[in-house]
């Protein structure tokens, strides 16, 4: 699965990890890579 930022067009992959939860550090990196705020992430 990929996340897509509609304003920048940036796409980043979202790992599925075999159904396990994604760790907080990886989520933070994804938020930084997308260039969005935590509030924007939470509203997805």
Average of per-residue pLDDT values in the chain: 83
pTM score over 0.75: no
What own/partner pairs with CB < 8 Å and gap ≥ 24 does 7-16 have?
8/35, 10/34, 10/35
Mean pLDDT across 11-20 = 80
Candidates 26, 21, 17; CA nearest to 41 is: 26
Q: Which tokens belong to 30?
A: 């994804």
Q: What is the pLDDT of residue 16?
A: 78
Q: What is the pLDDT of residue 25?
A: 93
Candidates 1, 2, 12; CA nearest to 34 is: 12
Q: How confident is the model at residue 3 (pLDDT cuts 50, 70, 90)?
A: confident
Q: What is the pLDDT of residue 42?
A: 85
Q: Which residues 6+ apart lie within 8 Å of 10 measured at CB?
A: 4, 33, 34, 35
């Amino acid at each position: 699965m990929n996340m897509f930022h509609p304003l920048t067009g940036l796409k980043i992959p979202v790992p599925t990890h075999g159904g396990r939860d994604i760790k907080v550090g990886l989520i933070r990196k994804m938020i930084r890579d997308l260039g969005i705020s935590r509030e924007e992430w939470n509203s997805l």
